Amino acid sequence: MSSTRAEASTGTQAVDRAAALVETVVHADAPLSFADLQAASGLAKSTTSRMLAALERGGLLERDAGGSYVAGSLFWLYAARHDPWEELVRLARPALERIGEETSESVHLSVARGDKVVQVAQVDSRYLLGTRDWTEIDVPAHTSALGKVFYAWQALPVPAGPLAALTENTITDPALLVRDGQRARQRGWAVTDGELEIGLSGVAVPVHGARGDVVAALGISGPTTRLEDRLEELGKNLSSHATQLSTLLRGSAPKEGVA
């Protein structure tokens, strides 16, 4: 009856249903009541009850103080052992590569760590002349499009004092940086033009996490001569990929496995 996914193979509905329950709980990162889960699964109360009990026993689910279900100890054990960016990168990698193919330029993924901006993944340009790998290299946030994203979307506070000038184009006045951020938000993407290195341009957009907060920035960089006339195209391209990534972070569950 009902509908669910109709994916079932044979001889596995118990496990399939159980997995669906766990998936429901993990997706909704808020605690879910028994009733919620019962409704969401469409199973009989008795079945739901037995399954939840089994899942709890197995450490996949857990009950909070109010008796609602949340992800169990296996999940936090996993989380405690693994770097969260590792997961982000994993989720994002395919997107980065597609963008790389579409634009032929270097693609970057950055996160805010404390009050700094750190690159966590990069796909290299196809051109000989391109941005080199700067994963884990410290670049002042106000000089790269990636960094500006965090300022523009207020994931990082704009520094108070005057900022270091790396080139004649670098924005050193915090007030101007704020204005720059406002424009970026309106446009949907942040840009940089020779503010880090003369001749180096970049475009970047925010990646929103499950709760709408900015968790990362996705960007492209390359020689100004190749980018300056394509900023809009690139920005839109990045935006669409970022949206998909956000959806992934929100929902996960790759529709199809590998080929």
46-85: which residues touch its own copies (CB under 8 A)? 50-51, 53-60, 63, 71, 73-84
Q: Name 117's Cβ contacts closer than 8 Å, sequence gap at least 6.
A: 110, 111, 139, 141, 144, 146, 147, 150, 156, 217
Task: Tell which one of 31, 36, 87, 172 touches its own copies (CB under 8 A).
Answer: 87
Closest CA to 184 of 151, 213, 139: 151
By a kind-dependent CB cut-off of 5 to 8 A, residue 78 interacts, out of its own copies, DNA, none, with its own copies
Can you say how many angstroms the Cα of residue 202 is from the centroid of all Cα atoms in its chain?
Answer: 19
User: Rounded to 5 degrees, what angle do the CA atoms 132, 230, 92 make?
Assistant: 55
Interface with its own copies, residue 16, by CB under 8 A: yes
Distance CA(40)–CA(63), nearest Å, equals: 17
Distance CA 58, CA 105 (A): 47
- Compute how many residues bind DNA; rule: CB under 7 A: 24
Q: Candidates 34-42, 190-198, 212-220, 250-258 — which segment interacts with DNA by CB under 7 A?
A: 34-42
Taking residues 67 to 86 in sequence order and writing x for each that binds DNA by CB under 7 A, - otherwise, the string is x-------------------
Per partner kind, with CB cut-offs from 5 to 8 A, the member of DNA, its own copies, none near residue 73 is its own copies
By the rule CB under 7 A, 57 interacts with DNA: no
∠ Cα 73 118 199 (to 5°):
155
Please give the residue ranges that form the binding site for DNA (CB under 7 A). Answer: 10-17, 33-35, 38, 43-53, 67
